[in-house]
Structure 1
Amino acid sequence: MPDSPADLHAEIARLQHELQEAQALAADATEYRVLLPDAGGETLIVRRQSLLHGEGWAVSTMGRGGGLALTLEGWQDAIGALTVDRLFCWPDPTTAIRKARTALTSPLS
C-alpha cells in the first residue's frame, strides 16, 4: 500500500506504463496459448488469420491429429479439413477464448 499521495501517483504511472507495453506487445501477437486448469488442464491455441486474407481468430485444442477446432457449429475434428472461413470465425482473441471456455463445459465432440 502506498504511503503517500506521491507514492500512489508513482504506482499509477508505473502501472499505466506497464499496461501500454502489454498493449503494444498484444497488438502484434499472432498466437496465444491459454492454459485452463479449471477445464482439466486443457490448453487452447488461439491464432490470428493472415491479415492478407482476413482479420478473424481461430481457437483449437491441442491433441493427436491436430486436436479440435471450435467453430460456430461447435467443436470440429480434423482442423486441416475445415475451411478458412469456418476456422477463423471469431472477431478477436477475447471472444474466441470466452466461447471456448463456455464450450468446454460441454463434452468435446
Structure 2
Amino acid sequence: MENLCPRFEKAMGLLSTRWVGLILFELLKGTKRFSEMEADLPISGRLLSDRLKMLEKEGIVTRDIYSEFPVRIEYSLSEKGKALEPVIKEIQCWADHHVTLEETQQDNA
C-alpha cells in the first residue's frame, strides 16, 4: 500500500477536525468578532476558542486586537486561510449535489 503524502495527511487532519470547516466557512464571509462566531455557530465558546487558537497557530487565521474600551478582538483569514476558499466552495458544491437532507438528519439523530 502506498503511503499518503505527509503534507496531504496533515491538511486532511486539520480540515477534518470537528468545527474547523464551519469556522472557515464563517470567516470566508469576512472578519468576525468572537461573539459573532459564537452566536452563528452551534459550538461552545471554549471549543470555538480552542479551534481558533489551533487555526491561528497553523497560520490560517489572524487575530487582531484593538486597544479600545472594551478591547476589541477580531478574527479573519490570513492569506494561507484565504487560499482554502476554492477548496471549501468545492466541498459545498459537492455537498449540494451529493448529500441529502435525510443523510444530515440521520447523522444528527
Shared fold (TM-score, shorter chain, > 0.5): no
Relative contact order: is structure 1 or structure 2 higher (C-alpha 8 Å, sep ≥ 6)? 2
Query: TM-score normalised by the shorter chain: which range applies?
Result: under 0.3
State the structure with more CA Rg.
1
